[in-house]
């Protein structure tokens, strides 16, 4: 369940959160895919609002597998399932700058494990409280990220029982695109190469000891190919290359089989589910002679590979540049850049100028109006601030209902 946790989806309504009648109310929904929820497992899902100096937990949602004798919501193994619940907590001013995360714990009998925290919402809109108490103003939080990760993938395929890089493989579109991308990164001022991951595989047929050697040799060949090919590329030549070897790629085999049109694929997928022993799996699949010929021709060759993953950080504008560009009404920035720019200066007149550009370019964004009101009220422009706050409140309600 921990391994397949990324397949689970959670959502929160509203997002961002909102304060009404001195409380913060949320509706949390979770969707679990088929064959995820262990029949004997019990899971606790707890939304927690975290803020500087503390945190506050909402009610815990309990879930259980089909074989558990309890009164929690049941999630089926074969079909998957979902839950939805609504709960609220008292609002405090510290919650304005916050994030809502899910803390998830799963257990089978006396064994329990905590899943990584899952962020599902940011900040709490408290415009109603802001308007009712003239001396209190709260800025909405920007989601500006200085570094945004991105990646590109390409793969070298190998012949059966071989680890030599073939010239015809290097001429394929994927490898050419990888080379072009690395050239772009090398020349771009806002792109930095974070590292190269090489995952080398052998197909799950043949002796395990041979496959272990093949995957290791294929990883080494891919590493050599990369270093020789891009030694003149400044960024690429400095990057750290991390190599991981998988002797028998059963996960890749299963994925390709699920997406295939092979006549006996359901039978083969059942063999994978019912047998954890790799040798037994291979033997039973080979017994389906007609299907195995098709597998040997169309599936296994795709698994004899070394996969490159190019990890890059897209670096955002500097603080000084954000503030400068935010005041230019002929230049359009991203909404998160405007909000960040306004937060970088203590001068409320400058904040107002930046945020006026923000509302001009993003008229449906409530945070721009909210923060514009903040800048205006701190300059004594009460009527203008009230109009901005009312507009923010109007837009936030529209966002909640959409």
Grouping H, G, I as helix, E, B as strand and the rest as coil, residue 64 is strand
Stretch 210-230: mean pLDDT: 94
pLDDT for res 132: 45
pLDDT for res 21: 72
- Buried-exposed string 153-174: b where 16+ CB fall within 10 A, e elsewhere: ebbbbbeeeebebeeebeeeee
Stretch 167-192: mean pLDDT: 92
- Buried-exposed string 313-331: b where 16+ CB fall within 10 A, e elsewhere: beebbeeeebbebbeeeee
pLDDT at 79 over 60: yes
Stretch 396-402: mean pLDDT: 49
Judging by DSSP bridges, how do beta strands 124-125 and 17-20 pair with one another? parallel
Per-residue pLDDT of 269-285, as tens digits, reads 998 888 888 888 888 88
Which structure tokens are listed for 111?
């064994």
CA distance 134 to 12: 30
Q: Chain-centre distance of CA 397, in angstroms?
A: 27
What is the band of 134 on the pLDDT scale with cuts at 50, 70, 90?
A: very low
Q: Is the dihedral of CA 386, 388, 392, 394 positive or negative?
A: positive
Per-residue pLDDT of 245-261, as tens digits, reads 999 999 999 999 999 88
Please confirm whether the linkage preceding 16 is cis (ω < 30° from 0).
Answer: yes
Grouping H, G, I as helix, E, B as strand and the rest as coil, residue 190 is coil
pLDDT for res 326: 94
What is the band of 128 on the pLDDT scale with cuts at 50, 70, 90?
A: low
DSSP 117: P
pLDDT for res 292: 87
Dihedral of CA atoms 159, 161, 167, 172 in degrees, nearest 10, equals: 40
What is the band of 399 on the pLDDT scale with cuts at 50, 70, 90?
A: very low
CA distance 393 to 4: 39
pLDDT for res 83: 95
DSSP helix, strand, coil percent of the chain (3-state; round to 5)? 40, 30, 30
pLDDT at 135 over 50: no
DSSP structure string for 94-161: GGGSEEEEEEEEEEETTEEEEPPPEEEEE-EE-HHHHHHSTT---PPPP---SEEEEEEEEEEE--TT
Q: Is the dihedral of CA 49, 51, 56, 62 positive or negative?
A: positive
CA distance 210 to 304: 13
- Per the CB < 8 A criterion, the answer to whether 376 and 351 are in contact is no
pLDDT at 401 over 70: no
- Give the CA radius of gyration of the chain: 27
User: Structural domains in the chain?
Assistant: 5-125 (2.60.40.10), 147-314 (3.30.1330.60), 319-401 (1.25.40.10)
| Residue carrying the six token digits 């994978």 | 272
pLDDT for res 133: 44
Instruction: Give strand ranges (E) for 202-265.
Output: 241-246
Per-residue pLDDT of 261-271, as tens digits, reads 888 889 889 98
Closest alpha carbon to 340 in 98, 141, 148: 141
Per-residue pLDDT of 300-323, as tens digits, reads 999 999 999 999 999 988 899 999
User: CB-based burial of residue 116 (10 Å sphere; 0-12 exposed, 13-18 middle, 19+ buried)?
Assistant: exposed
Determine the angle formed by the axes of helices 335-343 and 366-377, rounding to 10 degrees. 20
Grouping H, G, I as helix, E, B as strand and the rest as coil, residue 198 is strand
pLDDT for res 130: 52
Closest alpha carbon to 366 in 94, 12, 14, 11: 14
User: Which of residues 225 and 122 earns the better pLDDT score?
Assistant: 225
Beta-ladder partners of 76: 80
pLDDT for res 289: 75
pLDDT for res 47: 96
Per-residue pLDDT of 222-235, as tens digits, reads 999 999 999 888 88
Q: Is 366 left (phi over 0), alpha (psi -120 to 50) or beta?
A: alpha
Per-residue pLDDT of 351-369, as tens digits, reads 999 999 999 999 999 999 9
Q: Compute the C-alpha angle 337/339/340, nearest 5°.
A: 65
pLDDT for res 129: 55
Grouping H, G, I as helix, E, B as strand and the rest as coil, residue 60 is coil
pLDDT for res 137: 60
Per-residue pLDDT of 62-71, as tens digits, reads 999 999 999 9
| Residue carrying the six token digits 């994927």 | 174
User: Which of residues 141 and 229 earns the better pLDDT score?
Assistant: 229
Lowest mean pLDDT among 203-207, 329-333, 396-400: 396-400
């Amino acid at each position: 369940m921990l391994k397949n946790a990324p397949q689970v989806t959670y959502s929160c309504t509203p997002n961002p959160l909102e304060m009404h009648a001195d409380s913060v109310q949320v509706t949390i929904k979770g969707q679990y895919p088929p064959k995820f929820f262990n029949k004997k497992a019990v899971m606790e899902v707890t939304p927690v609002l975290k803020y500087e100096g503390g945190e506050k937990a909402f009610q815990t949602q309990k879930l259980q597998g089909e074989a558990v004798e309890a009164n929690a919501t049941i999630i089926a193994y074969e079909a998957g399932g979902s839950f939805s619940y609504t709960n609220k907590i008292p609002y405090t001013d510290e919650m304005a700058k916050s994030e809502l995360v899910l803390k998830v714990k799963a257990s089978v009998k006396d064994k329990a494990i905590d899943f990584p925290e899952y962020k599902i919402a940011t900040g709490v809109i408290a415009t109603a409280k802001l308007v009712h108490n003239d001396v209190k103003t709260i800025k909405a939080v920007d989601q500006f990220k200085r570094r945004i990760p991105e990646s590109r993938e390409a793969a070298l395929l190998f012949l059966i029982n071989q680890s030599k890089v073939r010239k015809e493989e290097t001429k394929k579109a994927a490898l050419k695109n990888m080379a072009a991308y690395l050239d772009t990164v090398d020349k771009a001022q806002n792109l930095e190469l974070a590292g190269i991951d090489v995952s080398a595989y052998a197909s799950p047929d043949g002796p395990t000891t041979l496959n272990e050697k093949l995957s290791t040799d294929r990883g080494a060949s891919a590493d050599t190919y990369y270093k020789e090919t891009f030694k003149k590329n400044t960024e690429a030549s400095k990057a750290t290359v991390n190599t991981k070897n998988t002797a028998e790629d059963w996960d890749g085999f299963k994925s390709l089989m699920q997406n295939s049109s092979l006549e006996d694929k359901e039978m083969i997928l059942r063999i994978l589910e019912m047998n954890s022993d790799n040798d037994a799996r291979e033997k039973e699949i080979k017994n389906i002679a007609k299907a195995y010929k098709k597998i040997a021709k169309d599936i296994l060759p795709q698994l004899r590979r070394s996969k490159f993953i190019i990890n890059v950080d897209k670096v955002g504008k500097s603080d000084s540049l954000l503030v400068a560009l935010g005041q230019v009404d002929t230049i359009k920035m991203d909404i998160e850049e405007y909000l960040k720019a306004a937060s970088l200066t203590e001068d409320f007149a400058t904040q107002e100028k930046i945020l006026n550009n923000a509302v001009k370019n993003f008229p449906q964004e409530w945070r721009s109006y909210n923060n514009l009101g903040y800048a205006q009220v701190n300059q004594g422009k009460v009527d203008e601030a009230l109009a901005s706050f009312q507009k923010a409140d109007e837009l936030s309600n529209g966002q909640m209902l959409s």
